[in-house]
Amino acid sequence: MERPIGKNRLLSRAALKSEDRLLFAPSIMMAPFADSFGPQFRKLWLQVVLRTLEKAGPAFIKWGQWAATRPDLFPRDLCGKLAELHTKAPEHSFAYTKKTIERAFGRKISEIFENFEEIPVASGSIAQVHRASLRFRYPGQQVKPMVVAVKVRHPGVGESIRRDFMIINFVAKVSKFIPTLNWLRLDESVQQFGVFMMSQVDLAREAAHLSRFIYNFRRWKDVSFPKPVYPLVHPAVLVETFEHGECVSHYVDDLEGHTRIKSALAHIGTHALLKMLLVDNFIHADMHPGNILVRVAPGKSTRKRLFKSKPHVIFLDVGMTAELSGSDRLNLVEFFKAVARRDGRTAAECTLRLSKQQNCPNPKAFIEEVEAAFDFWGTPEGDLVHPAECMQQVLEKVRRHRVNVDGNVCTVMVTTLVLEGWQRKLDPGYDVMHTLQTLLLKADWAKSLSYTIEGLMAP
């Protein structure tokens, strides 16, 4: 167990770490001039920020990954650069893994697992994953041992994150008193980030998310999630089924071939998101290609019919999720409808209603600017602008006008945009936003979506 540490001790440790101050000094000193010395200087500053966060520790890496999904708070080029933050982290020792597992479950590792690979198959900023096979059997399980993924939290990660968060919070508060740093909006981001960060540390919480997604998609034949292996679930250790498959980026980046499979993946991904958003109100909020596996079963044939191979999608790492309140859900649906109709005023008004703190300095100016942009998108020239790009530009205006959109709402918007981006690469002819618009613009959109979902769930 990680020992809790007091607030005063945290502050003193943060204050004493002069190397932290030195590490952040270049990016902080360069920030006031990021917009003044030309694009090359700004490009250099973005690279310095990226490298600084990579070296600073797990909380800073997670903050960067989170900030990359918040174009309503940060400039688009900064979000794009932070999206490059890798999740590969230093691995902890097998001795620590063994001790953590045995402490969590009160049994020797050899009593739980028949085989356990000491070298992890993956390592992130919070935990690392080992492949193993269980010694015990489940009722009805085949003779062959069950292969599992064992996710083990890194040593001291909770304490490290708490310490790092104190530093992040201190930097954010200082930035409020430096006019040239106000545009970074660090103070607003830290409050929302804190809730997100601590939810990532508790692996038992991720297991609960997995169980909920499995139930929601229980009738789907082409979507699944790893299954937590209870009772082997603990805040520091999560045992789940080991999922075989190929990263979806293999198909996203494949310019030629797999056309039919790519098209099927685009449809599956879109309708899975629609179900999460509009039916279940429980959204996987970290749906980038690295968290999506694809299995393609070989086709079967009979005397009468040939069944072609069909892809199966597995969603991983569900620690980050989003749920919307009833009012936010209705406003978000109205926002998507407004984007579909190119109705700028309604889109802007919905966005303001989605702000938890009505602190936009000039709501009237925000509405007029959004309305003017939508008026252009309604012209023959503007009609070429993709709806997803319209959403990106609205979020940019949200940032500039300091409209404090609720974090969960923005997460859903950005998840839609991320999914739309790689869906377009999978199948340029398939449009996520168009599908969403087609459903929502119908008077009985809920019934229409229900029919779509039922069709997908059919064997």
Instruction: Point out the residues that are catalytic.
Output: 286
HSE toward the beta carbon, residue 147, CA cutoff 13 A: 6
Phi-psi sector, 76: left (phi>0), alpha (psi -120 to 50), beta? alpha
Phi-psi sector, 427: left (phi>0), alpha (psi -120 to 50), beta? beta
Residue 238 CA to residue 150 CA, distance in Å, equals: 6
Structure tokens at 259: 């056309």
| Closest among 198, 176, 184 to 70, alpha carbons compared | 184
Structure tokens at 392: 């990106």
User: Could you tell me the CA-to-CA distances from 212 to 215, 289, 298 in Å, in that order?
Assistant: 5, 21, 30
Residue 366 CA to residue 353 CA, distance in Å, equals: 13
| Closest among 348, 352, 437, 353 to 394, alpha carbons compared | 348
From the centroid of its chain, how far is CA 400? 23
| Closest among 227, 231, 201, 230 to 319, alpha carbons compared | 201
Neighbour-count burial of 364, counting CB atoms closer than 10 A to its CB (0-12 exposed, 13-18 middle, 19+ buried): exposed
| Closest among 319, 292, 114 to 235, alpha carbons compared | 319
HSE toward the beta carbon, residue 389, CA cutoff 13 A: 9
